[in-house]
Structure formats: C-alpha cells, structure tokens
Structure 1
Amino acid sequence: MANTDAGKIRFAPSGMLSIAPVGGSLAVPKDVGDGGDTIPAGYKALGYVTEEGVTLTPTIQTTPLPAWQSAAPVLYNVDSAAFQVQATLLEASKIVTETFFGTTWEEVMEDVGGTPTPTGTYVLNLSSLPELAEFSLVVDWKQKGHFWRVVLNRSMVSERGAITLQRTQSKQFQLTIDAMDLDGSLGKVYTNEVMAD
C-alpha cells in the first residue's frame, strides 16, 4: 500500500504527569525530557494513573460564514480554542489530594498549657467560596527511544470526578485540567522524533 508505514504507529506504555505553581522562579521546560523518568526541576509528580492513561483533547470551535454565491461556507471564524488533559490518579499523596480538593493540608493544633501542640491530625478546609489554583502542567510519555512532552504554562482544574469508597477498589481521583492563555499560547508539544513526510 502506498504512503503507509506501520513503523510510525506509536503507543504510550509509560509516562508521568507533573505540576508546579505558576510564577516565582519556575523554569517551564523547553525540551522533550526523558519520557517521565526525570521530573522537571521545580515540579512534583502526580504518580500512578489508572490503566486508561491520559487523554489529551485539543479543541477549536468555529462559526461558518455563508455567502450568497455558495452553498458551502466560504470562511470559518475561530470562536474559541482549548486544550484539555484528563487523567484518573491513583495515589492519595499530598500533591494529588491537594490538587483534587483545591486546598492545602494543615495540621490540627491543640492548646496544651497555653502552647499550640501538633495533634498528628491533618485537615483540608473545603471553602464554600474556593479559590481556584493555577499551575503549570507537564505530561511526559515514551515508547522505546521516542519521547513526547506536552507543557501547559498555565492551567487549572476545571472538573473533578466522584471518589468511590469500596472494599475491593482503590480510591481514584479523576481530574480534567484546562490550559489557559499565556501571550496567545495554550502550551507546547515537544518530541525527539523526526517529523518528516
């Protein structure tokens, strides 16, 4: 068959999601990385993801412009552009639970003789007026020597799934993360593959 090459088919058998607070001295990655074996400086790994993996969804919504002289649109205008990352995380770590619940853990203190004393109990305060946290997201994956990386300079959790508590299934933290604009960019995709015809 003409113009076919099974050697160009790619899988993503392993990878990693990493996040970091936006701003400060954060150096957003500008290279392809190593497929998730090394977490970018200043970032924290979100750990294990369910076997369904990570879903990347670039979206462009347009409005067609019809014309009197044509039965088909003569132009499309861009209404909106988006880039979403969806994943279900498995680890009940500090970074995962804080990202999922949208707040930070605090240690509960008790007054012992006028001195605040740690109790060994931690609490997430769920506000009725939560502040949405903004962060940078890196998605790394690889197959053999082929490395890929998506970098979202600014992003935010736009949707959270339900946590099911069961005897035979681990807790899962389902997140949808949306890229946000930064100087006309939603993010970048890097690879070490030669992109030639």
Structure 2
Amino acid sequence: MAITNYDPAEVRLAPDGRVLVAPVGTAEPVSVAATFDPAWAELGWVTEDGVTVTPSVDTNDVNMWQSITPVKRPLTGMGLEVSVPLGSFNRSTLGLYFLNSEWTTVGSNGRLEMPNAPVSQEVALAVEWEDDEGDLNRLIFPRATMTDRDALNLVRADAITLGLTFSTLAGPDGYSAVLLTNNPELAS
C-alpha cells in the first residue's frame, strides 16, 4: 500500500514556549502577532517535560431493559486540565504554588504567609509555543483554577520544580479556551 495522503509538515514539535498568568478579565491577545497585555506575567522556566493539556468529557449511560448496551450517552460535562512543571523558583512561582499567597519583605528576609483561608485560585492562563516549522501558537484559558500541586521535592542533585495543574472554567465570552495560530494550514 502506497502512502499518498500524508504530509510530513503536519507532524509538529513544540521545542520551546512559555506560560503566562494574569488576573481573570485581563485582555487576551486577539492574534499571535498581538502583544500580551502587561498584566500577563511570564512564569519562567518549564522543565523539559513541557506543558500537558488533557481534555476530558463526562457522559451518562442511558440503559434500557431490552438492551445490555446503552441506548444513549449524553454529554454531561467537559473540561481541560493544564499541567505545568515550573523550573523557576522565584517570588511569582512560589506565590502561585502556595495558593496565590503574597510576598512581603521584612528587613532582609522575604516572607510568604499562607493564610488559613486562601483567596481564589482563579487566573487567566496562556501557553505559547513556536513549533519546529516556525509557526506561533497560543492556547488561552480566560478562567482557570489551580486544582492540584505536585509535591515539593528538595533533593541534592536535581532542580526544585513546582508542578501545578489548572482546570478550566467557563469563560465570560462563551468558551473555556481558544487556540490562536499562524500555521497556514490551520489559518486558511
């Protein structure tokens, strides 16, 4: 069988990128050429594992007496999870990791207090990457909340990483995520 419908240019890598957060409601860029509003803060290094985006759907099986297989399977929920293993260990990333806590400076010491009742974990989140073909891609989540954090491992011979997982929420404009790209195959 001869392969005739396969284009190697459709196989893409994501060798580099960045992750940004902003307060919910911050203006989103409308194209890949538009700059991010200054309220968007870049989170720095991400480990070589990169960013993982996991879509999910929930369904409900409707079973009937006369059939051992479901007769309907309506969609009851959906979501997107974004896992980010941060390699930068700084005030921004640690504040985010410790439930959006705020840093203060006391004398020559930085102080991060983690309150008993943390504030909202809601943020706007963006993942931007340039693929190996030179196309720029932006995956923007207008509302996401931190739903998990990896254990903080302090070891002798490896970098400290701050693993964060965000789950999307319904956005104010009727979508929970938007993908912007200048890939000519997808932009036509």
TM bin, normalised by shorter chain, reads 0.7 to 0.9
* RMSD of aligned residue pairs (Cα, Å): 2.2
Q: Deviations over 1:43-88 (max 9, x none)?
A: 1101111101000111111113345676644432112111111011
Residue of structure 2 equivalent to 1:159 = 148
Q: Deviations over 1:115-156 (max 9, x none)?
A: xxxx12121111222223321111001123212111100111
Aligned residue identity for 1:130:
P
CA distance in 2, matches of 1:120, 1:148: 41
CA distance in 2, matches of 1:156, 1:74: 35
Residue of structure 2 equivalent to 1:46 = 43
**2:124 paired with 1:126:** no
More strand by share: 1
Quick one: structure 1 residues 163 and 179, their matched pair in 2 at CA, closer, same or farther if it must change by over 3 Å? same
Quick one: structure 1 residues 164 and 33, their matched pair in 2 at CA, closer, same or farther if it must change by over 3 Å? farther
CA distance in 1, matches of 2:97, 2:187: 40
Residue of structure 2 equivalent to 1:195 = 186
Q: Which runs of 5 or more structure 1 residues have no equivalent in the other structure?
A: 109-118
- Decide whether the 8 Å contact of 2:181 with 2:187 is kept in 1: no
Q: Which runs of 5 or more structure 2 residues have no equivalent in the other structure?
A: none
Q: Deviations over 1:147-193 (max 9, x none)?
A: 21111001111101111112221211000011111244211111112
Higher Rg: 1
Q: Of 76, 98, 102, which residue of structure 2 is paired with 1:101?
A: 98
Q: Which segment is superposed worse, 6-15 or 38-47?
A: 38-47
- Decide whether the 8 Å contact of 1:18 with 1:139 is kept in 2: yes
Displacement after TM superposition at 1:33 (Å): 4.5
Q: Of 141, 166, 174, which residue of structure 2 is paired with 1:177?
A: 166
CA distance in 2, matches of 1:41, 1:73: 51
- Decide whether the 8 Å contact of 2:29 with 2:36 is kept in 1: no
Aligned-pair identity in percent equals 30
Aligned residue identity for 2:105:
E
Residue of structure 2 equivalent to 1:18 = 20
| Paired residues, number | 182
Quick one: structure 1 residues 146 and 46, their matched pair in 2 at CA, closer, same or farther if it must change by over 3 Å? same
SS of 2:30 mapped into structure 1: coil
CA distance in 2, matches of 1:146, 1:28: 19
Aligned residue identity for 2:59:
T
- Decide whether the 8 Å contact of 2:85 with 2:163 is kept in 1: yes
Q: Of 4, 7, 17, which residue of structure 1 is paired with 2:6?
A: 4
- Decide whether the 8 Å contact of 1:22 with 1:153 is kept in 2: yes
Quick one: structure 1 residues 99 and 67, their matched pair in 2 at CA, closer, same or farther if it must change by over 3 Å? same
SS of 2:151 mapped into structure 1: coil
- Decide whether the 8 Å contact of 1:27 with 1:41 is kept in 2: no
CA distance in 1, matches of 2:130, 2:37: 15
